Amino acid sequence: MGQALRSLSGIHVLFVDDNVDAREIVSSYLRYFGAVVKVAASAEDALDSYGRVTPDVVITDLSMPGRDGTWLLKQIRKASRGFAVPVIALTAFGGRYDRALMLHQGFDDYLTKPVSAEQLAKTVGRFVGR
């Protein structure tokens, strides 16, 4: 594999989305670039995973049934190392969520679906010094 394809090699990413197709696509993109990916189908499952092993980056969907991505962000920020871990919002509802508002709420970045593999890798890479 070329250098670009390994740009996220060894980076641990927790990806949260209630949509199975989105989980498969985004996690495949991240793995393509060498990331170690843990997926969660809900904010509660993600928080449980986060509590066991702190990832280098968290990517969370905003709109999920029950607890949403903003709830997850608040829980992560309360946790040990919670402010050291970048949390990136990802949503299909670009018009409903304003980028400035998401950043103001404490997300480190904001992406809209569909996201390209390159855009995803570049965004994650920016937070892990790659």
C-alpha–C-alpha distance, residues 68 and 112, integer Å: 16
The answer to whether residue 3 scores a pLDDT higher than 60 is: no
- At 104, is the pLDDT very low, low, confident or very high (cuts 50, 70, 90)? confident
The answer to whether residue 44 scores a pLDDT higher than 60 is: yes
pLDDT at 57: 98
Q: What is the side-by-side order of every strand in the sheet holding 57-61?
A: 36-40, 12-16, 57-61, 87-91, 109-112
What do you get for the CA distance between the two ends of the chain, in Å? Answer: 17
Nearest CA-CA partner of 60 in 38, 80, 78: 38
Q: Which two tokens stand for residue 24?
A: 């498969």
pTM equals 0.92
Q: Which two tokens stand for residue 75?
A: 């829980």
Q: Which fold has domain 4-123?
A: Rossmann fold (3.40.50)
DSSP character at residue 4: G
C-alpha–C-alpha distance, residues 32 and 37, integer Å: 11
Helices 69-78 + 43-52 axis angle, to 10: 20
